[in-house]
Chain A
Amino acid sequence: MEVLMILFVLLPLAAFVVSMLVPQHHENAIAKLAIYSLSINLFIVHVFIGWWIWGGRPDLNIKELVLYKSGDYEFFIDFYFDKISAVYLWVGSLLTFMVSVYSRVYLHREEGYRRFFSTMLFFFTGFTVLVLAGNFETMFIGWEILGISSFLLIAFYRNRRLPVRNAIKVFSIYRIGDVGLILTMWLSHHLWHENITFSKLHNYDLVHHTLSEHSMLGVVISLMILLAAAAKSAQFPFSSWLPRAMEGPTPSSAIFYGSLSVHIGAFILLRTHPFWEHQISVRILFGLLGVVTSFVCSGIANVQPTAKSQIAYSSASQIGLIFLEIALGFEWLALIHFAGNAFLRTYQLLVSPSLVTYLINDQFYHFKPKKRERNWLVVNRIRYTWYMVNLNEWYLDSFMFHRLWNSLKWAGNKLIPTGAFEILAATSLAIIFGGALLFYPLKPGENLVEYMPVFFSVLGIVAVLKSLGERKNAALALLLITTNHLCTALAIMFNEQFNHVHNYLYLSGVLPGTFLGLGVLLWLKQKKASVNLRQFHGLSGKFPVASFLFLLACLSLAGFPITPSFIGEDIIYSHIHIDQKWLISLTAIAFVLDGIALIRLYARLFLGSNPNTAFGGSYRSA
């Protein structure tokens, strides 16, 4: 019976793959494929959960597949099932099924009908992988799938500017969450000396023993988990991404940002509960973050004049309460709260267009003019201030994006005044020199080598910053990102002697990705498409294949789990020592920036504008 668990992943995955092969305009075939596979899935979920309850709700663990093994390092896929997976799986399967039936008619004749269903199936695949994951590595695979499919769903209307910009925003926040999870994995390697499974975390003695020796490390791991969870669940200070994700067709906003995607943060906390439950300080922090989020987001929700932003902030504030419940140890309450909140928000979003009919009618019959409010100066001052703070979403969005973005731009342009091309040349030279140094060690002394890792990490960041600021040449931007990866690889090689296969593994996605990307750019140049980065070009409409290939190139460059780079990334990190705070921080920053630079590159070239309109470009403010 446990074998069925694999089906939960394989079924949507197979449906996803098949859906990509169905011709574009065969709406019926596409919808049926999705609905049938999801209804079979829902049926098996019920059978499985029934069987599981009948069997006394045991915790199940299946070690599925070892993907890579080298020395004592082992990268394997592992599945785990307990009450948390059960609730998440059930809610997810039920909602996805219902929404797919809903969308069959709702999306009729919409351009991108197939794209919608494919992305939804892909998303659901990621969701099941994540909630059934038995270790951090497996979870990370699901996590990454969720990230990229979210990006694609938010940017569903890829010819318009705002959806694409917001998709980039959300993706950047997700990238911060990614770092949380990657660092958790890295720290766990060092803590447990293996890729720990969640079922082992339930071993109280083991956890207690290990943590009492490395209590500081335990706290840091918990904080990283919190970072990942907060980013994914739109907790303070990341909350402003959630309403901005509501750019796709209403059903996708409803199911993903109203319910499934946004509750994943709570899932991670629940999943790692045995690990942090004895760290009181950490629990207080979790609870506090939840309370702060509830307070802030319900304040913001109060004044939102649009239906979707109000629902989004209310949902985030309820998730804050869920965080609190988890911190207090009320697991069942949190699970019930999750399910209820997910259902409520999905429904609320789906019926949000009805708000006009209902409330206008209500107003027509029950309108009461507002009473004049009293003018006490101090009370007014506080009231006005409270309103202004909330209206402006506590300045979360402007802080996250304008401040951070502007400082990145400033860093790219002002701190490093050299041109992008010079930087590329310099970095390449340094890489060649560094490579030579590695293979034919001169004897300039140990000292120099000691600084090499940090030197190359910084160089990598410089390259990627330049790439972010590049406004002319797409190929240059792409190459700068590649050099960032090469720098990271070199930095790690200087850091520790290890099997070069690890590095090849790491670069196995990066280099083909670069070549593929450059190939597409060359081809576009031949087709006379403009490929500067000053504006959105929206080439995906005209060159769909090129767009898909370039996306693949970006994904492999970003270490997405379609190439072995993904495993390589994990191993590479394991060669950074636990005390190398600088190196790990720099590598992590490079990782975040790299993802943002790639997605910006893809979006600028292929999305965000409708070249087919008579007067070119798109309606900028819609």
Chain B
Amino acid sequence: MVAQQNIKSKNMDHHVPTISVFNEHETLHKLRHYLPAQAPLHEFIHHNTLHAFQHLPFDKAISLAGRVLGYKAGLSLAEYQQLYTEGKIHPEALERAWKEQDLLQDWSHCRGLLFAETTEPNAQPLVGSLRKLWDKHLAFDLDANVYPVLFRTLGSFLDQGVALSGSPVQNKSFIHGIKELQKKSYIGFFRSARAKAFLLNKQTTLAEVLQLLVGDERLFEQYLFDTQFGHPGWSGMVAVLEENPKLLLDQRQIKLVDLILFELLIELDTLDRLFGNRWKPLSMYENYEPKDLFASQPFRDEEQALAIWRNAFEYSYYDQVLKGISDAQADPAKSEPASFQAFFCIDDRECSLRRYVEHLDTNASTFGTPGFFGAAFYYKPENGKFYAKHCPAPVNPKVLVKELGSTRKHKKDHHYTRKNNALFQGWIISQTLGFWSALKLFFSIFRPSFSPATSGSFRHMDHTSTLTVAANPIHMEHEGGLQVGFTVKEMADVVEGVLKGTGLTDGYAPLIYMIGHGATSTNNPHYTAYECGACSGKPGSVNARVFASMANHAEVRSLLANNGLHIPEGCRFIGALHDTTRDEISFYDIAELNESQKEVHLAHVKVFEKALDLNAKERSRRFELVGTKAPAEFIHKKVLERSVSLFEPRPELNHATNALCVVGRRSLTRNLFLDRRSFMNSYDYQVDPNGIYLLGILQAVAPVCGGINLEYYFSRTDNEKLGAGSKLPHNVVGLFGVSNGIEGDLRTGLPSQMIEVHDPVRLLVIVEHFPEVVLATLTQSPATYEWFQNSWIHLVVIHPDSRLLFRFASDGFHRYSPFTKNLPHAEKVEELVESMIENIPVTKLNT
């Protein structure tokens, strides 16, 4: 097969041993690279938390991330051993995982390592060890003096509207604001003359301040890493905002270097203030050996043992799936025409709903494709002051879609107006509204309902409004540098891309549904993480409606016909939105259907409603507090209640347990119970023999599904450092982040409530195509290839003719034959769903 291709990371080379001289520019670049890249809350998008290590093979990367930054990026030995005793790791998978590697040849030695008792905690991470010396030598806690000042100054500067009056210097850049306050306020930040002079001097460099604090130039870089990774949340936020200030609605100018300078000066000021001239640079207290932080190191046997466990755990699950997929039969040619077709998002949460729809109406067929439906644009709701991006994060759209004629009303809730917190209004309010709060609290506990604070997916776009989908052909409008609406050519390209990419090239049903998805949650700062990732954390309703409108456009259809896509006259596309939390679907522009279409549509709506009830029931098996055995309609009501309950930290479980992504025809998975663990992208290799559409699919699958998968993975393995911890004590900071309590670091990653049921397994992408085509396709995009080559995502290809499985390794494809002999069968999905709360093994459904 194709030999290994050496793809160089697009990032810089990390192995230049430059610890002898300090290069500010280079160090800052490194810092920005390694700091968490999490955007403000309302722009939350899943990404690989350890993106900075992606240029390394997975095993090496997590070992390095642990040693240097103290991240626990995989399960521990004890956890794997526990999984093994529970039977969740198959002995066969363990044996295979051992055989596949060549570092630990001797089985008894390897066995000893695998089942070793863990006693000693790992060594302390490198980053953080230098700055600790302050505490050792001066017996005082520098953090406690520096962090409160730093965090509140940053918080106040970046604040988007929590404070009644924000920082008076918000219109300046951060460092100029600090200078202004130091100069013109009667009370500055600093009392130490040196700190003041450094701040007000325009030429101050980090090196100068570091000279005083650290002394030895070879330690500067590590000291900066120590300071910034003392509060990775804040530093990461600043680095992200420096890169893209537009992420805040009310923009600010801030740079990481300014934050660092300010922080170092606070340190200097604190030391001067508390110890006068009784302190000296850190390197003068003891001889601290400079270290090359990210230098590669030999891979230890213990780490290899963990890698074996990791693979064994993953293949204990994958193997069942692969067995099921390789057994799947191609669909027989249908005699009856399809009753309707429905497109859903690739999202793992749509996996079960599609199954129910198909079971309830066996003539219906469903498709999966990224939920922006190929239509990339900015959306501006009526009266909106900003544009919201409706496509995957890396795409930069050139088109604007505007909402017109909305009748949406904004309900006010006085509990969120800041007047409550002012003195005199507060005096009146607390004596009047105060008692109203008691009532509201009572009702929100005993009869939860929608409130202005609920983030509801259906509110994103008004039903009665219209959208500017098609551009004015005669007089092209522009707004904010964007073209208003799509041209006919652009629209035809979008529609063709989706139809050909998913393999629906003929046999169009009279009604075709484009179903985007969104979510509803209350009291949830991470609300955007629940929405459609392919729409940059917005509900996919707008995209679905835009696509439907494009596909219904007469001129578009004639262009499509030229390219071989003959959509019959009577065929109509309908945009819709599935709320994954509430399990409700709302359909758009039904008024435009003719009477007979309306009638047919109403019959389909019944199918959807029934499917939604069943879907709610299936989801409920993970909710301990809802009995799954009750009738579906009853459970659905409980599920609806969850979405608007103030006290429900798990309105839905989002992408938890995701593990797969199937790129192929529906026949591969139609009769498999995959337990909502699979992303599904419809794809027909016959339509795309050269892998042109496949490339597009994999380019989206790797960062979107891979990003989601790894964010869950790492948040689960180290919820303390890579996740956000429990959301119960979270405190909203400036509307852009959350912290624990009032003076903590910003928390990045996912809260424990989102990941607790997640099994940390990497994504397995299964593609139905010829291995050589897949390989040729992948190597065309180095960025995508890196994900697979470094094993951040697993890849298995199923050969369309022989039905044999081929697994990708860094040296090419190899045959894979599952050790699972038989998969369990189930007659009724409902009984299967009621049977247990944990992950259900892959099961064949008899239909």
Determine the distance from Cα of A251 to Cα of B728 in the docked complex, in whole angstroms.
Answer: 8
Q: Which residues of A contact B187 (CB under 8 A)?
A: 385, 388-389, 392
Determine the distance from Cα of A378 to Cα of B233 in the docked complex, in whole angstroms.
Answer: 37
Q: Which residues of B contact A (CB under 8 A)?
A: 41-42, 66, 70, 72, 76, 121-125, 139, 143-145, 147-149, 152-153, 155-156, 158-168, 170-171, 180-181, 184-189, 230-231, 233, 249-250, 274, 381, 383-386, 388, 410, 413, 415-416, 418, 420-423, 426-427, 429-435, 437-438, 440-442, 445-446, 451-455, 522-525, 527, 624-625, 645-650, 718, 720-721, 725-735, 739-745, 747, 753, 756
Binds B, one of A94-102, A415-423, A512-520: A94-102
Other A-B pairs, 8, CB within 8 Å; known A247-B741, A350-B441: A110-B728, A303-B166, A305-B155, A351-B416, A380-B168, A385-B185, A391-B153, A622-B740
Q: Is the CB of B42 within 8 A of A356?
A: yes
- Asked whether any CB of chain B lies closer than 8 Å to the CB of A212, the reply is no
Q: Which residues of A contact B76 (CB under 8 A)?
A: 614
- Asked whether any CB of chain B lies closer than 8 Å to the CB of A365, the reply is yes
CB contact under 8 A between A352 and B385, given known A98-B445, A384-B168? no
Q: Which residues of A contact B418 (CB under 8 A)?
A: 310
Determine the distance from Cα of A402 to Cα of B125 in the docked complex, in whole angstroms.
Answer: 29
CB contact under 8 A between A106 and B426, given known A350-B441, A353-B524, A618-B720? no
Q: Is the CB of B139 within 8 A of A471?
A: yes
* A interface residues, tally (CB under 8 Å): 109
Determine the distance from Cα of A360 to Cα of B386 in the docked complex, in whole angstroms.
Answer: 11
- Given A344, A367, A370, which contacts B430 in the complex, CB threshold below 8 Å? A344
Q: Which residue of A lies closest to B43 (CB)?
A: A360
- Shortest Cβ-Cβ A-B pairs, 5 listed: A340-B434, A354-B453, A614-B72, A384-B185, A347-B437
Using an 8 Å CB-CB cutoff, how does the interface string of A353-397 with B read, 1 for contact, 0 for none? 111111111111111011011000100110111011101100001
Determine the distance from Cα of A380 to Cα of B186 in the docked complex, in whole angstroms.
Answer: 10
User: In the complex, how many angstroms separate the beta carbon of B201 from the nearest chain A beta carbon?
Assistant: 20
- Asked whether any CB of chain B lies closer than 8 Å to the CB of A309, the reply is yes
Q: Which residues of B contact A246 (CB under 8 A)?
A: 729, 731, 741-742
CB contact under 8 A between A165 and B729, given known A98-B441, A305-B163? no
Q: Is the CB of A363 within 8 A of B430?
A: no
Q: Is the CB of B426 within 8 A of A317?
A: yes
Determine the distance from Cα of A370 to Cα of B249 in the docked complex, in whole angstroms.
Answer: 12
CB contact under 8 A between A621 and B423, given known A163-B741, A364-B386, A406-B274? no
Q: Is the CB of A383 within 8 A of B125?
A: no
A-B contact pairs, 26 of them (CB 8 A): A102-B445, A104-B647, A108-B625, A110-B726, A157-B740, A247-B741, A298-B421, A298-B422, A304-B163, A305-B166, A306-B155, A344-B433, A344-B437, A348-B420, A351-B416, A353-B523, A360-B42, A365-B410, A384-B168, A387-B165, A387-B181, A388-B187, A391-B167, A616-B124, A617-B124, A621-B230
Q: Which residues of A contact B189 (CB under 8 A)?
A: 388
- Given A94, A336, A350, A615, which contacts B121 in the complex, CB threshold below 8 Å? A615
CB contact under 8 A between A347 and B441, given known A160-B740, A302-B164? yes
- Asked whether any CB of chain B lies closer than 8 Å to the CB of A250, the reply is yes
Determine the distance from Cα of A156 to Cα of B732 in the docked complex, in whole angstroms.
Answer: 19
Q: Is the CB of A306 within 8 A of B430?
A: no
Interface of A is mostly: helix
Q: Which residues of A contact B733 (CB under 8 A)?
A: 305-307
Interface of B is mostly: loop
User: In the complex, how many angstroms separate the beta carbon of A278 from the nearest chain B beta carbon?
Assistant: 27
CB contact under 8 A between A353 and B732, given known A309-B742, A310-B421, A389-B187? yes
- Given A98, A105, A162, A387, which contacts B741 in the complex, CB threshold below 8 Å? A162
User: In the complex, how many angstroms separate the beta carbon of A458 from the nearest chain B beta carbon?
Assistant: 25
Q: Which residue of B lies closest to A382 (CB)?
A: B186
User: In the complex, how many angstroms separate the beta carbon of B418 from the nearest chain A beta carbon?
Assistant: 8
- Given B124, B434, B729, which contacts A250 in the complex, CB threshold below 8 Å? B729
Determine the distance from Cα of A95 to Cα of B171 in the docked complex, in whole angstroms.
Answer: 43
Q: Which residues of A contact B148 (CB under 8 A)?
A: 397-398
CB contact under 8 A between A94 and B410, given known A160-B740, A351-B646, A391-B153? no
- Asked whether any CB of chain B lies closer than 8 Å to the CB of A37, the reply is no
User: In the complex, how many angstroms separate the beta carbon of B168 from the nearest chain A beta carbon?
Assistant: 5
Q: Is the CB of A305 within 8 A of B156?
A: yes
Q: Which residues of A contact B41 (CB under 8 A)?
A: 356, 360
Q: Which residues of A contact B648 (CB under 8 A)?
A: 105-106
- Asked whether any CB of chain B lies closer than 8 Å to the CB of A563, the reply is no
Q: Is the CB of B720 within 8 A of A613?
A: yes
Q: Which residue of A lies closest to B186 (CB)?
A: A385
Q: Is the CB of A347 within 8 A of B731?
A: no
User: In the complex, how many angstroms separate the beta carbon of B5 from the nearest chain A beta carbon?
Assistant: 34
- Given A105, A108, A162, which contacts B743 in the complex, CB threshold below 8 Å? A162
Q: Is the CB of B144 within 8 A of A165?
A: yes
- Asked whether any CB of chain B lies closer than 8 Å to the CB of A209, the reply is no
CB contact under 8 A between A340 and B430, given known A363-B249, A363-B250? yes
Q: Which residues of A contact B233 (CB under 8 A)?
A: 622
Q: Is the CB of B732 within 8 A of A352?
A: yes
Q: Which residue of A lies closest to B128 (CB)?
A: A620
CB contact under 8 A between A102 and B646, given known A305-B163, A306-B155, A351-B415? yes
Which residues of A in the span 211-247 have a Cβ within 8 Å of any Cβ on B? 243-244, 246-247
User: In the complex, how many angstroms separate the beta carbon of A37 from the nearest chain B beta carbon?
Assistant: 17
User: In the complex, how many angstroms separate the beta carbon of B519 from the nearest chain A beta carbon?
Assistant: 12
Determine the distance from Cα of A301 to Cα of B420 in the docked complex, in whole angstroms.
Answer: 11
Q: Is the CB of B185 within 8 A of A387?
A: yes
Q: Which residues of B contact A294 (CB under 8 A)?
A: 423
Q: Is the CB of B645 within 8 A of A356?
A: no
Q: Is the CB of A308 within 8 A of B437?
A: no
Q: Which residue of B lies closest to A163 (CB)?
A: B741
- Given B384, B423, B527, which contacts A357 in the complex, CB threshold below 8 Å? B527
- Asked whether any CB of chain B lies closer than 8 Å to the CB of A555, the reply is no
- Asked whether any CB of chain B lies closer than 8 Å to the CB of A610, the reply is yes
- Asked whether any CB of chain B lies closer than 8 Å to the CB of A587, the reply is no
Q: Which residue of A lies closest to B521 (CB)?
A: A357
Determine the distance from Cα of A369 to Cα of B233 in the docked complex, in whole angstroms.
Answer: 27
Q: Is the CB of B728 within 8 A of A250?
A: yes
Which residues of A in the span 305-320 have a Cβ within 8 Å of any Cβ on B? 305-314, 317-318
Q: Which residue of B lies closest to A369 (CB)?
A: B250
- Asked whether any CB of chain B lies closer than 8 Å to the CB of A482, the reply is no
Q: Is the CB of A311 within 8 A of B421?
A: yes
- Asked whether any CB of chain B lies closer than 8 Å to the CB of A500, the reply is no
- Given A166, A365, A387, which contacts B385 in the complex, CB threshold below 8 Å? A365
Q: Which residues of B contact A341 (CB under 8 A)?
A: 430-431, 434
CB contact under 8 A between A359 and B735, given known A353-B524, A367-B250? yes
Determine the distance from Cα of A101 to Cα of B444 in the docked complex, in whole angstroms.
Answer: 11
CB contact under 8 A between A358 and B416, given known A346-B437, A621-B147? yes
Q: Which residues of A contact B159 (CB under 8 A)?
A: 305
Q: Which residue of B lies closest to A372 (CB)?
A: B171
- Given A343, A363, A471, which contacts B438 in the complex, CB threshold below 8 Å? A343
User: In the complex, how many angstroms separate the beta carbon of A25 from the nearest chain B beta carbon?
Assistant: 11
Determine the distance from Cα of A498 to Cα of B721 in the docked complex, in whole angstroms.
Answer: 59
Q: Is the CB of B249 within 8 A of A614?
A: no
Q: Is the CB of A321 within 8 A of B624?
A: no
- Asked whether any CB of chain B lies closer than 8 Å to the CB of A581, the reply is no
Q: Is the CB of A318 within 8 A of B441?
A: no
- Given B181, B739, B747, which contacts A388 in the complex, CB threshold below 8 Å? B181
- Given A165, A247, A302, A344, which contacts B740 in the complex, CB threshold below 8 Å? A247
- Asked whether any CB of chain B lies closer than 8 Å to the CB of A103, the reply is yes
Q: Is the CB of B720 within 8 A of A610?
A: yes
